[in-house]
Structures are given as C-alpha cells and as structure tokens.
Structure 1
Amino acid sequence: MDRFWLKSYPAGVPENVDINQYSSVVALLEESFAKYRGDKAYICMDKALTFGEVDQLSAALGAYLQSKGLKKGDRVAIMMPNLLQYPVAVAAVLRAGFIVVNVNPLYTPRELAHQLKDSGAQAIIILENFAATLAEVIAETQIKHVILAAVGDLLGFPKGAIVNAMLRHVKKVIPAFSLPGAVRFNAALAAGRSLTFARPAIGQDDVAVLQYTGGTTGVAKGATLLHRTLIGNLLASEAWTQPGLKRKVIDGQPVFICALPLYHVFAFVSCALLAMRMGGVNVLIPNPRDLAGLIKEMAKYKFNIMPGVNTLFNGLANHPEFAKLDFSHLLIANGGGTAVQEAVAKKWLAITGCPIVEGYGLSETSSGVTCNPTDSSAYTGTIGLPLPGVDIRLIDDDGRDVALGAPGEIAIRGPQVMAGYWQRPDETASVMTPDGFLKTGDVGIMDERGYTRIVDRKKDMILVSGFNVYPNEIEGVAAGHPGVDECAVVGVPDRNSGEAVMMFVVRKDPNLTKDELMKFCMDNLTGYKKPKYIEFRTDLPRTNVGKILRRELRDQAIKDMTKAA
C-alpha cells in the first residue's frame, strides 16, 4: 500500500526493519548480554544488576524451571511489581523455551483464577506480598510449581534481609498464606546453579508472551505475541528512538526511568526489552504512586528516557519537588496508554524543556505502532506516524477505506501484530480483516502528512490511566450482588486518570447503599476497574430490542457533570 507518511519521517529512520537478523527474542537478549556484559542493566533500591549478572541469574533460574519437568511451550506466570527479580524471571522463562504470562500483582482472586486457568500456566513466580491471593485459587488452576520472591532477595546482604524483615514484621504488609511446596526465589537460583541449562531450539514463530487484555464479552483474553512479533516491535522502536537520542551527546549508557509496571505491555517492551536491546540501564520504580519517592529516586540519575502515561506526567508536573530536578539530560518523554492532555503536555514542557511525544499501541500490537517523532519540539495532539514496517488503514463499517481526512476505524498490519487471541479463534476472527489488518475499535482521522488523531471509540472500552477497562466485566461482577437487579457501566472524563468508571444501577433491594456496592466491587475487581461513581436509577434506557444504551447514559452523565462544574 502507499505509505505516503514516509515523507514525514525524521531523517535516517528506515521504512522497514529486518526482523530476520534474530531467530528469537532470546538471541537478541543474549547478544546484549555478551555485548554489554559489564554494564548495568537494572537498578532498584540502589542495587544494580549488570547484563552479565542478568545472564547468569536467568540461566540458573531457567535451569531450575527445566528441572521441574516443564517442557517447551509451557506457560509460566510472573506476578510482581518492578523489582530486579522481574527481568531475571522474564529472561529465564524465555531462554528455557517457555511462554511468559504477565500478571497484574493487584489482581483479585477472581481475576487471577481466570488468567491462570485460561493460560494453562503450570508455574508461577510471585512476590510473597501477593501470595495470599494465589493461595485462595491455586486449587482451581493447573499450577504445579510456585516460586516465592521477597522484595529483598536480590538486594544483597545485609540490606535484603533488613528490607524483608521490615516488610514482614514491622510494616506487616505480607498477609498470611499457605502454599505447601512453594520454593523461595533464592533457593531456586541456588539449585539452578548446580544444574545444566539446556538450550532449546526457539524460532520466530514460537510463542513468547501471553499479554492479557480485556474483551468486549468481559473475559480477559491473552494476546499471543510471537518471538517475531516482539523482535519487530523492538527493532522498529529502536529505530524510532534514534533521532531523539541525537539531540544531545549521552555520557555513558542511556538511562531509562521505568515507573510504569512491567506487567503492562507498554513498560514490558518500551523499558525492559528496549533498554536491553540498546545497552541501556533501567531504573526500576516499584511504587510510582509514591510521587515523592519517585522524584527522590529520579534525582540520583542523569536520566535520558522516560515512558509515561498522562496520570503520571500530570502528577509529577504538579508536585512541588519535581521542578527542582535536573532535566538537562532528558531527551525523550514518550506518552502512551491513554491520551496525553494538552494542558499536561504544556506544563511538562515548561518544567522539563522536553516535549511529550505521544504514541499509540495495544496489547494486541505488542505495544507501540505509531508515535510522534522523538525529535519533536512540541506536543501535536496526535498519536503520530506509523512506525517502520507498520501499515495503517482507516476503514468504515464495511471494511472499505475512508477518504483522507474522514473518520474511520484504525486498522493495523505489521510484524508487531499478535498471532491471535490465545485459544480463541472466534474472537481472533472478529478483529482481523481478510488481508491481515487488526481492527482496533478506535476511530481516527489521518491528515495529509500521515499523522493520526483519535476522535472516538467504537467499542465501549474505558481507558483508566492507560489500563483497558471493559464495562461487561464490571457489570458482570456487580450483577452478582443480590441487591442489584441490573446495571450499566460507562466511562466519563476524569482530570487525573483520563477516564473514570461510572455505574448506573437498578436496585433489587431498595436498601442497597453505594458504599455496600462499592465494597463488593472492590473485593472482586482490581483498583483501576472499580467504579468511581455509582448512580441508582429506577430504569435504564434501551433500544427497541432491549439493549441498554450505554452511549445515552454516558452523554447524559457528561452533560450533568459539565453543569455541576
């Protein structure tokens, strides 16, 4: 097809990347292990791991997993925040020939049980802080092997022991749990060091990662990311990063601030894997909600690259201590996950001198497929240009291309696109066109330069701080409360998170309170999915065939909120 947007590319960025230079993500990672062996790869809580140490630790952990009888293609879940153990676990699972299943550590038992059962994971590497959740549901799953990590495991002695003791006995943030047969992370490493690591044959068409995303049916589905898929995204992202890196001379390694969670596809690819590819160092932030702690950590480094979402950029820009940091080395602040608001972008630029370059991607596209040029000087209000190797069409409801400048559903084709939804051929068929384009459900307008602006969403998905929230899932949970007759969920604008969840409820029990229903939702839904607003109604608007009109509810809610403001 005519990639007319290439005329808008920054100088030196190629039209395509050669994904055939690596047989697998493992080959790409092992090249970096050798090339940057003595350089720091990850830093967390002032403790650094070099590329060589990640190599050694992941080989040991991979050997241990292999010794448990797992075979090539088996799924291994990883459930922890941004700690040194995360990249070690990812490299171990991939190198041993298994499939990474990224899991949100804040999942409720219901959400965790679904993901473990759906993926068929046989092993899990989990931080002990969240082990109580696993203990509730492990009997329902195929999990046979549990590796329990503690925050201080890789921090060295005595710091690691002190940190673990503080969390367990002073702060008491680790709920009681019982997981008979579970093995400690450091014990697994020790056992693995005495074992022989077997190198399986891994090809581009082997599955590397199952990245779970919500569905219109309310069921989370695993986007199946092949090794070739991740290679394509990494090489395209690396090429796109180069113009931004050339704005100033970097003294030493590129330094990434990794404040986004690694279990989310954005940070998984744009921080963990991309920095390893580029020989960069990732500063891992376990708890980015602690803005004061994040700023204190950032002050220690001459940081160059910072991926973020609107919520994070906004929170930092409005923190009084943030403006005191040294931004003279910041070259790229890439925004994604959800729309970056113009007011936030302007404030960020005024403070840092570095514009937010907004991009766009999905779990189904292994993170970014479009982005503004990284050497941009200002916020554009668009999601930028297609990355190398990416084709984009804007189509109508019949799958036909719309005219340039007219709104149409964004459809994407390229090596970055998933192989399909894990074991859900019908769901896969519903989002793929006959010629291999993924229909995103987002409506955009492309201008004559090739820049696209998102103007609407065909599906009812809600974007809360970069996380996909699907109304059907929340409605299904709320409907399980005996006091609820029926309900409908919509997204409404929110200054902090982009959108917030609002639920309209028809009560079966007239005594049901908002607080009671809110607690029920909190017990069954991860924090970002829970309703921010609940409104009781005597009935809900419907079509003539009985379908609830979510759009009508949303429009009325926005109108009411505007009046109140």
Structure 2
Amino acid sequence: MRDLLSHRVAATPDAEALVLAGSGESLTYADLDARAEALAGRLSGLGIVPGDHLAVVLGNRAGYVALVHAAMRLGVRLVPCSDRLTATELAPKLAAADATALVCGADTEALAVAAALDPAGDADDADERPAGDDDGGNAGDDSHADGDRPGWRSVDGFEPARVADDDPDASPRPVPVVSLDDPADDRAVGIDAAPDGEVPSVRWGRADPLLMLFTSGTTGDPKLVTLTVGNVLASATASAFRLGVLPDDRYLATLSLHHTGGIMPLYRAALYGTSVVLRSEFDAGGAVDDVRRYGVAGVSLVPTMLSRMLDARGTLPGCLRAVLLGGAPAPDALIERCRDYSVPVHPTWGMTEAASQIATARPDEAFERVGTVGRPLFWTDVTVTGPDGEELPPGETGELVVSGPSIAQGYYGNPEATDDAFTADGALRTGDVGYRDEDGYLYVLNRVDDRIITGGENVDPGEVAAVLRAHPGVDDAAVAGVPDPEWGERVAALVVRSDPELSAAALEAFCRERLAGFKLPRTVAFAEELPRTDSGTVRRPAVRDRLERVADADAGTDPVEADPAGDARDPEDATAADDGDGDSGPGSDDGPDTDDESAVDDADGDRDGGDGDRSDADANSP
C-alpha cells in the first residue's frame, strides 16, 4: 500500500482534512496532500531516504500534521519527541532512537540545537536562550568558534546522521537540525532553503515500522515502542467499531502530537476520511468552545482535562458523541458527574505498546458499572494472570496480559526490556493490575510497579531519585506518588541530606534544570535515613505512607522533617522490590497516552514543563 494520505486524497480530495482551531483555517485532503508532498521533497533534497529515523520536536501546528504524512510518503520512521523536555532529557532520546535528523520550529529551535548538536555542553540552559541568539546560547563562549561548532550553516554540508553499515561500532555523527521556520541559529537549516528532491515510490506492508513513540523510562535509558502499519490499522479499525464513525465527523486534537492519544487521530482521520480540529495547546474553556464552534463529534482527554472543562463551562455541547477518557484512572465522582450532565464519556484503558486503546466502555456501561474500562476491543485478548502466569477466573485480581494485532513486538534497541515485557508468543505483560467480572468487563486498579501518574503523565520514580541523589547536598532519596485532588497523584520525595542547610527550594531549582516540570517533586520531606528491608531494599510502602502524612499535614507547603526511619525490618514490607531506581514494566500510557509530558496547563503556572508552561497533554491512547 502507499501512504494513507495518498490513498485518501485519491478517494475524497475535497473532503475536509484539518481545521486550525485558533484561526478557523480549513484544509481539504488535496491541500494537506500538497503540503505533505512539498515537505517530503525538501526532506528528500536534504538526503533523507526510506528507512531513516526522523525525530520531531514541535508543538501542535499544521506543519506537524503535514510532516506526519510526509514521513510516511518518504518511507521513514517518525520519532515524535516532547517539546516540553529539557535538552538533557531530549539528547539521550535522540541517541536511543538513532535519529537521522531532528525537525523543529522557531519555538523549539534552541532546545533542538542544544540537544542534537551540543548534548554535552550548555544543554541545561536551552530553555533560557533567546530565540534570536545566533550562537544558540553560546554567545561569548570561545569553545565553539564558528569554525568548529558542530552543525550546518547551509544545506551544502547537511549530512544525515547515520552509522556506516560496515562499521556499526563507529561513533554516530551529530544529528542535523531542520527547522520548519527561518532558523535563528546558524547551525540549523531552514526547510525552505533545502533543494527539491525526488520523492521515492514507497510501498508499505503491515509489518513495516511506521513510527516510534517513547514510554516511561529513565532519561539515560528511554524506551521506544516500535509501531507498525499493521498495529496502527488494527487499532484504528477496532476503535471505529467501538466508537462509531460518520463521514463528516470532526475530532478535536488537544493533546500533544508526541503522545499516542495525540498522533493516532491523525492517522485515523486519513483512514476514515474524517477531519481533525487541531488546538495548539489545551485550555479548558477554549476546548469546550471549540467543540461547540466546530461541531466536534469526538475528543481524547485525561481526567484532569475533562474535570477542568466541566468546571469551566458546566457541561459539554450536545454535538459530542464520544469523550475518550484515559491516561489515568478516572475518579468515580467524575464518571457520575458525566452521567448527571449527559456527557458521553468512554472510559478507556490503553498503552503506547497497544497503539492506543485496549478496552473502552460505552457511556451506558460506564454509568451502570462505575469503575470499568469496558470490554476489550475487537481482535484484542486480555488475560488476568497470577504470580506464576496462570490464568485467573473472573473476580480475581492479577496482572493484565494483552495480545492482538495492535500490540507492538518490542522496544527499539532494548532487548532486555522487550524480554521483560513480552512473552514468547508476543503477548504484552502490561504491568497493570486488575480483574474481569463475570460479564467480561475489565477493571484496572493499579500498577505492578510504582510508576507515578500525574495529570495523565507517567513519571519514573527512579529518574527523579537519581537527579536528587546527584545534588552534592543529598546522601540518598526515594520518590513516590501521593494522592492529589487535582492531578490524581503528585511526585513526592523523601530525602536524606548530607548538607543540613539544604532547602526544598534549592532542590527544586536543581531539579528544574534537569527534569520536565511535571516530574518535579512537589512534596519534599527530610529524614535521617530511608526505611529499608533486611536486604537493603527501600520499603516503598513505608516511604509512601510518610510522604502522604507530610502532604496531608503541610498541604504541599514547606517541607518538614520526616519521623525517624524507624524499624526498617517491618515484615509487611519485606516484599518491596523496587528501590525507586528501576523501570519495571511498560509505560501504561493510553487512554488519551500517558508518557512524557503534562496534559494540562496549571492555572497558576506552577506545574510548568521546564519552560514555565504545562500546556501539552500527555495521553497515550485514544
């Protein structure tokens, strides 16, 4: 088959493909096809060829949508990355993905250049560099004179980053940066300056890798899910069977496009022949207004987003047929609120590894069986397993194991993680704990591991703990999630200080330079030592209990001294096996995909994504 857009434009060229919510500008499939073709030609002119890995760090915009389809037309794998990461977080992801080139825009150029071309230099300062700084933030730094800085000042020397096939151990070249806008940094190349190249004739098979999406993992060892054409087609088809699709449907895309729940609607729209209404960022009242203004039929949200939309406007417009709600557990009170105000909520459970939804409940099912995520989608099998992998009967709780054509076959470049998460026959051990009732409805309760889900985003406690331990005034640290009435969970840390004068504010400033905003510890407590088992493992239940008490007592204000470490050999905690450093299991990110950045803007701007803005929504699924 050819790329999806080429098939769609041949079938319905005059159908609406995209609406830009901010301006109301509308593109037909013929318009979108022309933009994708032109972009594919320019990328080809820069030397991008089938099989390359094209990384992207952009906010939601029309050029991103065109790039999604241009990548498929060229036969390259798309690697969407969050535009809310710091350069130190982005750089290892580019390396893990073997990125051939990195596409950015004016607002992400400094981040892209710092991560791709200067990963060992001033990466931490990327977010503070002025957009017009020709030196990418290195003004006055003689270590990068014009003659020896990595990068390209014209397309003539532009060279995609590839390791020679005959020398796989060779050091990779710097990842070249391509901007969709006029670059301010002379190390980036503007796409408009690229020559027109020949767009190859590419044919896709169902087993061919289409894109690679990141799930939770430490900054130094991010995990990449490789999704094939077959995975995406199976997921889109099964979703349509469950939700229903009409030819004139419009779907509101308010999640960031680097998430499963943000990017999948683009592929699905091309398959269905429907339209996407694209928002540049999430705003609760504005999203409701856009639903009404554009007659939107469906939208993907995480619970915090839906709650804020209801707070802003009371209810949602009657044109909506499907509110796909995932990315984090939906509170029962929110489902009941949807019932009372006739909101067509579809609680869903999914993961990046499943190309989106695994199970989805229709509104009547959600209201009658509060807490359910429905039955598995068509072609998808879910088994509840016990400690030894045995299948458990209805009503018994165990790990949920999923199989079917939408399930990825592993993590790119990470055979150990693949072996841990996938069975010999290709089933995915999700790491989620739940049960199935007698009628086949699924209920997801928690995680096998201790991953934190805050505002629909997955946070690896080990990554945060490692950053805290890197502070010279910290001897040790453990990180856990504590309940938060708005975000579901917040990141909290129990810290053992070597410097008694170290404050929570100093720790936050240190972490802010190294972590995205949604990963920052919002509750910090200090203790003389961490509670541990006989084997030396941190007793995470004990850590969590203490942090919950601190959070309750202080309401997230000034940190306090935790109570003494106490008996570190409490038998009830002897089974705790995660010291907060590991990443044990796949990232549960879907529903709208939970896996990298935050889903919503905080009204007071306190939960920023490293650049003071928490506007993109992570929701891996719908």
Taking the TM superposition and a 5 Å limit, the aligned residue runs for 1:24-39 are 26-39=2-15
Q: Select 1:215's aligned residue among 203, 214, 217.
A: 217
CA distance, structure 1, for counterparts of residue 276 and residue 409 of structure 2: 29
Question: Is 1:256 aligned to residue 256 of structure 2?
Answer: no
Alignment of 1:442-457 (within 5 A): 442-457=432-447
The residue correspondences of 1:554-565 to structure 2 (distance < 5 A) are 554-559=544-549, 561=551
Which residue of structure 2 lines up, in the alignment, with residue 439 of structure 1?
Answer: 429
Q: Which one of the candidate residues 269, 274, 277 is aligned to 1:280?
A: 274
Task: Confirm or deny that 1:323 pairs with 2:314.
Answer: yes
What's the offset of the Cα at 1:32?
Answer: 1.9
Question: Residue 18 of structure 1 corresponds to which residue in structure 2?
Answer: none
- Summarize the alignment of residues 61-460 of structure 1 with structure 2, pairs less than 5 Å apart: 61-139=39-117, 140=119, 142-150=173-181, 178-184=185-191, 186-187=192-193, 191-192=195-196, 195-215=197-217, 219-242=221-244, 253-269=248-264, 271-288=265-282, 290-319=283-312, 322-323=313-314, 327-351=317-341, 353-373=342-362, 376=365, 378=367, 380-460=370-450
The one-letter code matched in structure 2 to 1:222 is L
Equivalent pair of 1:217/1:472 in contact (CA under 8 Å): no
Cα gap change, 1:518/1:181 in structure 2, threshold over 3 Å: closer, same or farther?
Answer: closer
Aligned-pair Cα RMSD in Å: 2.2
Distance 1:562 1:507, change over 3 A: closer
Instruction: Indicate the residue corresponding to 1:8 in structure 2.
Output: none
* Residue of structure 2 equivalent to 1:500: 490
Distance 2:173 2:482 in 1: 38
- Alpha-carbon distance, 1:36 to partner: 2.5
The aligned amino acid for 1:556 is R
- 2:619 corresponding residue in structure 1: none
Query: Match for 1:464: what amino acid?
Result: T
The answer to whether the 8 Å contact 1:389/1:414 transfers is yes
Local SS of the residue matching 1:82: coil
Q: 2:465 aligns with which of 464, 467, 475?
A: 475
Runs of 4+, deviation exceeding 4 Å? 140-144, 374-377, 559-565
Structure with greater proportional helix content: 1
What is the identity, as a one-letter code, of the residue corresponding to 2:65? P
SS at match of 1:215: strand
Aligned counterpart, 1:546 = 536
**Aligned pair in 2 of structure 1 residues 483, 329: CA closer, same or farther (>3 Å)?**
same
**Alpha-carbon distance in structure 1 between the residues aligned to 2:174 and 2:400:** 38
| Change in CA separation of 1:29 and 1:385 when aligned onto 2, cut-off 3 Å | farther
Cα contact 1:504–1:535 (8 A) shared by 2: yes
Work out the CA distance in 2 between the residues paired with 1:58 and 1:221: 29
User: Shift of the alpha carbon at 1:112?
Assistant: 0.6
**Separation in 2 of the partners of 1:137 and 1:304?**
39
Q: Distance in 2 between matches of 1:349 and 1:543?
A: 46
User: Is 1:101–1:119's contact at 8 Å kept on the other side of the alignment?
Assistant: yes
Distance 1:323 1:96, change over 3 A: same
Whether 1:41 aligns to 2:17 is yes
What is the aligned partner in structure 1 of residue 122 from structure 2?
none
Contact 1:237–1:274 (Cα < 8 Å) also in 2: no
Q: Residues 144 and 218 of structure 1: is their aligned pair in 2 closer, same or farther, counting only changes over 3 Å?
A: closer
TM-score where L is the length of structure 1? 0.84
Instruction: Report the 3-state secondary structure (helix = DSSP H, G, I; strand = E; otherwise coil) of the residue aligned with 1:382.
Output: coil
User: With structure 2 as the length reference, what TM-score do the two structures score?
Assistant: 0.76
Aligned pair count reads 499
AA paired with 2:177?
A: V
Match of 1:169 in 2: none
Deviations, residues 85-126 of structure 1 (Å, cap 9, x unaligned)? 111111111110100001000110111101111111111221
Change (3 A) 1:101 1:203: same
**Bigger relative contact order, structure 1 or 2 (CA pairs below 8 A, ≥6 apart):** 2
Conserved 8 A contact 1:106-1:526: yes
Q: In the TM superposition, what is the alpha-carbon distance from 1:264 to its structure 2 partner? A: 0.5
Q: CA deviation at 1:459?
A: 0.9
2: CA distance, partners of 1:549 / 1:494: 22
Percent identical: 29
AA aligned opposite 1:488: A
CA distance in 2, matches of 1:360, 1:492: 22
Could you list the runs of 5+ residues in structure 1 that have no partner in the other structure?
1-22, 154-175
- Report the alpha carbon displacement of residue 444 of structure 1 after superposing the two structures with TM: 0.4
The whole-number CA distance in structure 2 between the counterparts of 1:102 and 1:40 is 25
Counterpart CA distance in 2 for 1:546 and 1:348 is 46
Q: Is the 8 A contact 1:75 1:120 kept in 2?
A: yes
The CA deviation at 1:315 is: 0.8
Pick closer, same or farther for the CA change 1:113–1:177 going to 2, 3 Å.
farther
Provide the C-alpha distance between the structure 1 equivalents of 2:180 and 2:25, rounded to a whole number of angstroms: 16
Deviation at 1:196, TM superposition (A): 3.2
